[in-house]
Amino acid sequence: MPFFIDKIGIIILSGLFIIIFSLSRNFGILTSIHAVSRKTIGEFAMAVGVGISALVLLPSSTVAFVYGMLILGFSDTSANIIGSQWKLWEFKIMSQNKSISGSAAFFLCSLIISYSTAHYIGLNIKLDMLLVLCLILTLIEAVHIFGLDNLTLPLLSGISWNYFTI
């Protein structure tokens, strides 16, 4: 599955993004990246999380790496968008607001990604296993604060994928 450059290239790009994010925060450029209303280091955590995921999962677990990127890119984003727009049943984790609607969006998006990934690679995995996998990932996303889910989600998603699909 040659979807991307090699492990070293991804790690170098992750480092470059950390530098770019630092410069943009210090010099007031690329302000939309930092326009989140809550206190967060999510953009830095994402760059580090992608780099660590590449280091751990590639080249032996390409599908797990791609799966982790899909979860971070789509499920986490959907949780943020839906959770911000429809704040149903809000709860706090260390003074940071979370919502059941955001968690539900994360879960459903993760389920779609998990099923699609399994189908794409021809894996016959039981629905109950996919539900458990997505529930675990949803809980991981829900308990993280300050954008630190961007650090752990790519790697933990990939490792969980490998565990549930062996």
1 assigned to some structural domain? no
Tell me whether residue 35 is in a domain.
yes
Residue 110 forms part of a structural domain: yes
117 with 128: CB under 8 angstroms?
Answer: no
Q: pTM of the predicted model, to two decimals? A: 0.87
Written in H, E and C, the secondary structure of the chain is CCCCCCHHHHHHHHHHHHHHHHHHHHHCCCHHHHCCCCCCCHHHHHHHHHHHHHHHHCCCCHHHHHHHHHHHHHHHHHHHHHHHHCCCCEEEECCEEEEHHHHHHHHHHHHHHHHHHHHHCCCCCCHHHHHHHHHHHHHHHHHCCCCCHHHHHHHHHHHHHHHHHC
Domain that holds residue 131: 7-165
Give the tens place of pLDDT for each residue, 5-28: 789 999 999 999 999 988 988 887
Please tell me the total count of domains within the chain.
1
Mean pLDDT, residues 19-43: 75
Of 148 and 1, the structure prediction assigns the larger pLDDT to 148
- pLDDT at residue 36 in the model: 62
pLDDT, tens only, 61-117: 999 999 999 999 999 999 989 998 887 787 777 767 788 999 999 999 999 999 999
Q: 130 in a domain, yes or no? A: yes
- The pLDDT of residue 162 is above 80: yes
2 occurs within a structural domain: no
In the structure encoding, which two tokens stand for residue 100, read together? 């059941």
Q: Is 106 among the domain residues?
A: yes
Position 1 scores a pLDDT of: 46
Is pLDDT above 60 for 2? no
